[in-house]
A and B are shown apart, each in its own frame.
Chain A
Amino acid sequence: MITVDVAYAMAGVVFVAIAVFSALDRANPKRWHNTAFWGLFGASFLAGRWLGDLINGLLVIAMVLVGGIGGLGISRPATTTPAQREASAARFGSRLFLPVLLIPATALTGTLLLKGLKVGGVFLVQPTQVTVICTALGVLLALAWAIGMLKPPLAAVPQEARRLMDSVGWAAILPQLLAALGAVFALAGVGDAVARLIGQCCRWTAGWPWWPPTAWVWRCSP
């Protein structure tokens, strides 16, 4: 079975490559911060499954300290000039959209075709993460197409990725951090606490005949 670990490994390789190119970037005064941040993020993707919860937690805190207190630099790796881009756009025309659109197209058709597909009694693709895995597949195809079309120098692939990732910066880990916060909320019983608080408000206001929500809240409460 192809599991989501394949997509995680790909992402890990990309982030580690970004970390390596960050380390080589002397123009970025905070290059070691960027190296540490993207390196740790890459480690989380490559090895998160085996590191255990405690090490993963410490890894998150290290990333937060580097990104939140140390701060990341925004790199400006060499890319094409606006004039070169105009010339390239005129040359390739709307074909430039095709590799980009191939990614959602692959994610979509892959999800429709591969979900539930079994080979020899085993799911070919991990059923719970088909879209994520197919997105990764789409990226591989699109990358091959883009390289074939534009024939860039090979270092351009990690460098362009670094240019965009650095513009995302520390915010890259925000969605996953919010998910972690949700997990802690669930563990600490925040939902129950909110429910109790609202229950107390209901009881507190129950004696207020002039308080319009009271009747409504009582009617709705189980």
Chain B
Amino acid sequence: MMSLLGIAVVMVGLIARFNPILVITAAALVTGLAGGLDPLTVIRAIGKGFNDARYISVAFLVLPVIGLMERGGLQARAKALIGRLRSMTVGRLLIAYLALRQISAALGLLSLGGQATMVRPLIAPMAEADEEARRGAPDAPRRVLIRSHAAAADNVGAFFGEDIFIALGSVLLIQAVLQQNHLTVAPLRIALWAIPTALVAFAVHATRLALLDHRLRAPRAPAPTTAPDP
């Protein structure tokens, strides 16, 4: 039971807005020690867990390419393109990307999108350019709001799309966990019953994006954030 202390550390730490990497590391140490492991074993577990997960960070390899293309005017080009589409709004653009991401993920094409490969170089600049064409250059809070919605559309689409494709890790993980608990379920059925969830997720998030358009139309800027303009 004491090992649940780590979850409390995560909650309190994140609510108190401490630096997340400090909070997560502290939670790992507390969980291990409270769970009766000795300190060196906990550090070994952290090291092994971190090392085994390096494949996640290989995505950063795209940054040199993105940086070079930005240097060559990639974002300027994305803005010029979106400027030609008069009926496009930030919300509609992101709804279209959400649908595209969800459908391609459902077909197993998860590697087609992503924060580093699509959102940063293409989707976010297009959304910002659209706002700029409509109401002038967005101030820092608006810019951050638009960028975070662009990132969220990618996440929601990928998350609620991949469960529909039977051969992806998520479905196999669900099956394995259920199997461990003596419930035998065919991957195809897991994938099938992911479809209602996916449709609801699309409806909910598309509504949020439509509301984003509404919010951007409001003359007053959204609640100020402390995020700097990078």
Interfacial residues, chain A to chain B (CB-CB below 8 A): 4, 7-8, 10-11, 14, 41, 44-45, 48-49, 51-61, 64, 67-69, 74, 79-80, 82, 84-94, 96-97, 99-100, 103-104, 107-108, 111, 129, 131-132, 135-136, 139, 142-143, 146-147, 149-150, 152, 156-161, 163-165, 167-168, 170-185, 187-190, 193-194, 196-197, 222
Stretch at the interface among B25-33, B89-97, B158-166: B25-33
Q: Report the Cα distance A146→B72, complex, angstroms.
A: 9
Give the complex CA separation of A11 and B56 in angstroms.
11
Q: Are A10 and B61 in contact (CB under 8 A)?
A: yes
Interface stretch among B2-10, B149-157, B205-213, B217-225?
A: B2-10
B-side interface mostly: helix
| B75 at interface by CB-CB < 8 Å | yes
With a cutoff of 8 Å between Cβ atoms, the chain B residues found around residue A172 in the complex are 57, 60
In the assembled complex, how far is the CB of residue B132 from the closest CB belonging to chain A, in whole angstroms? Answer: 13
At the interface, yes or no: B216 with Cβ under 8 Å from chain A? Answer: no
Taking the closest CB of chain B, its distance from the CB of A32, in whole angstroms, is 19
A149 to B49, CA, bound (A): 40
Q: How many Å from the CB of B211 to the closest CB on chain A?
A: 27
With contacts A160-B70, A164-B63 known, what are 4 further pairs, Cβ within 8 A? A85-B76, A87-B73, A188-B35, A197-B4
Expressed in whole angstroms, the minimum distance between the Cβ of A112 and any Cβ of chain B is: 9
B66 at the interface (CB under 8 A from A): yes
Q: Report the Cα distance A8→B51, complex, angstroms.
A: 11
Interface size on B, residues (CB 8 A): 74
Q: Are B47 and A54 in contact (CB under 8 A)?
A: yes
Instruction: Name the B residues within 8 Å of A188 (CB-CB).
Output: 3, 6, 31-32, 34-37
Whether B50 lies near A177 (C-beta < 8 A) is yes
> Shortest Cβ distance from A79 into chain B, in angstroms?
5
Is B40 close to A, CB under 8 A?
Answer: yes
Chain A interface helix/strand/loop/mixed: helix
Considering the complex, give the chain A residue whose CB is closest to the CB of B27: A181
Q: Which of A97, A152, A158, A180 has the most CB of B within 10 A?
A: A180
Cα separation A107 to B113 with both chains bound (whole Å): 11
Tell me whether B72 and A85 are in contact (CB under 8 A).
yes
Query: Are B72's CB and A96's CB within 8 A?
Result: yes
- Set B28, B48, B54, B81: member contacting A181, Cβ < 8 A: B28
Across the interface, which residues of A come within 8 angstroms of B203, CB to CB?
Answer: none
